[in-house]
């Protein structure tokens, strides 16, 4: 597997690697150590062999990415050709050209795993000409890929992969503990939680502003990112906000289960947010805690179809009205949470998704 980010921070890649290993495949991950830039060899707690390589790269810095990725490609290529393998599994477009070259040189199968529409994802930071070039190159490489995996049907449509296998980013039953599910902490306030990257475009500062003046709600936040200094100023100025710092995934799930709602809103001005189905939304369903998602998105469609959460325009006035309504009608929160648990048990769990991944791999190896 090739990954242009740290392996430890990508839950989807961890789940896929673990699933394949448990099915009898030998899995090795070559990932970009963007933090220290050091070369490190190790084995994850799930028995996955991992090689982290440099160079270092600044967060959310497109120029740093452009300068660093050729060096990462060269180092990853040298590492990859040392090993015998039957499949090269490229996660996202930023490792697809590298995977293509390695597969051609080694005569192996090539898997393209599109977590999202990469061109749309970088559109806020990259010049339009770069976005256009990436779309063209993606279509070129798709013609040579042996298997395409996507995170949802909308991504498949967007990148033109009509025969893609859909493997959604859902949590597994083993990641959850029954004592963590469906528990809302006893408090005179209803609690809304946000757990994830502290970055723009996630309605975070807007939500903090609304909750700070609310009579019925408080808010707990976990994560790290460029908005951390601004978040600290909000927290220091309000007794309705609590910041827990950067949390391990297991702790984030436990804190999520103590909330009445989970904030999973993304700015729809970026098209990738319209066609995306966030990990946190599926985790909310699994925990029986209704998510609040942006209306007019794929996440909004799922929440509406399953009646397992609440949709809201990316707008402070509408968000405030939603919180006020739910404070007066808490039964809606309980019913949505129950529906989320049902949807998780029926379809939106990793066990269901893993079966699609394994069947696709079996066909690939058998072919």
- Where b means 16+ CB within 10 Å and e means fewer, 287-313 reads bbbbbbbbbebbbbebbeebbbbbbbe
Same domain? For 148 and 89 the reply is: yes
pLDDT of residue 9: 76
Classify burial at 364, counting beta carbons within 10 Å of its beta carbon; exposed 0-12, middle 13-18, buried 19 or more.
middle
CATH number assigned to the domain comprising residue 359:
3.40.50.2000
pLDDT of residue 1: 98
Same domain? For 236 and 358 the reply is: no
pLDDT of residue 194: 98
pLDDT of residue 184: 52
Same domain? For 337 and 362 the reply is: no
Question: Full-prediction pTM beyond 0.95?
Answer: no
Same domain? For 224 and 251 the reply is: yes
Count of structural domains within the chain: 2
Classify burial at 325, counting beta carbons within 10 Å of its beta carbon; exposed 0-12, middle 13-18, buried 19 or more.
exposed
Same domain? For 208 and 292 the reply is: yes
All residue ranges of the chain with pLDDT < 70 are 60, 177-187, 367
Range of the domain at 206: 173-346
pLDDT of residue 179: 46
Same domain? For 340 and 358 the reply is: no
Same domain? For 82 and 118 the reply is: yes
């Amino acid at each position: 597997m090739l990954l242009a980010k740290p392996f430890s921070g990508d839950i989807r890649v961890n789940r896929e690697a673990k699933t394949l290993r448990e099915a009898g495949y030998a899995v090795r991950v070559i990932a970009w150590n963007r933090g220290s830039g050091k070369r490190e060899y190790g084995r994850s707690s799930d028995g996955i062999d991992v090689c982290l390589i440099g160079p270092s790269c600044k967060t959310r810095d497109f120029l740093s990415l452009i300068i660093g990725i050729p060096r990462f490609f060269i180092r990853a290529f040298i590492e990859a050709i040392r090993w015998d393998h039957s499949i090269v599994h490229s996660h996202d477009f930023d490792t697809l050209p590298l995977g293509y070259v390695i597969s051609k040189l080694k005569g192996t199968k090539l898997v393209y795993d599109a977590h999202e529409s990469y061109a749309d994802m970088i559109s806020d930071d990259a010049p339009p000409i770069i976005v256009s070039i990436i779309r063209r190159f993606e279509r070129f490489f798709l013609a040579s890929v042996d298997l395409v995996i996507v995170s949802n049907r909308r991504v498949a449509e967007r990148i033109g992969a009509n025969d893609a296998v859909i493997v959604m980013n859902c949590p597994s039953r083993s990641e959850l503990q029954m004592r963590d599910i469906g528990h809302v902490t006893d408090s005179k306030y209803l609690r809304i939680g946000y757990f994830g990257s502290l970055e723009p475009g996630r309605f975070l500062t807007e939500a903090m502003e609304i909750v700070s003046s609310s009579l019925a709600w408080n808010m707990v936040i976990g994560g790290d990112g460029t908005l951390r200094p601004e978040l600290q100023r909000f927290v220091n100025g309000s007794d309705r906000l609590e910041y827990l710092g950067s949390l391990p995934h297991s702790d984030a799930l436990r804190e999520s289960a103590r909330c009445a709602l989970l904030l999973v809103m993304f700015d729809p001005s970026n098209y990738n947010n319209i066609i995306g189905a966030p990990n946190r939304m599926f985790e909310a369903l699994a925990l029986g805690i209704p998510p609040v998602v942006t209306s007019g998105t794929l996440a909004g469609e799922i929440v509406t179809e399953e009646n397992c959460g609440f949709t809201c325009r990316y707008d402070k006035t509408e968000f405030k009205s939603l919180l006020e309504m739910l404070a007066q009608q808490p039964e809606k929160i309980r019913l949505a949470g129950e529906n989320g648990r049902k949807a998780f048990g029926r379809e939106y769990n990793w066990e269901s998704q893993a079966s699609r991944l394994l069947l696709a791999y079996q066909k690939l190896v058998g072919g």
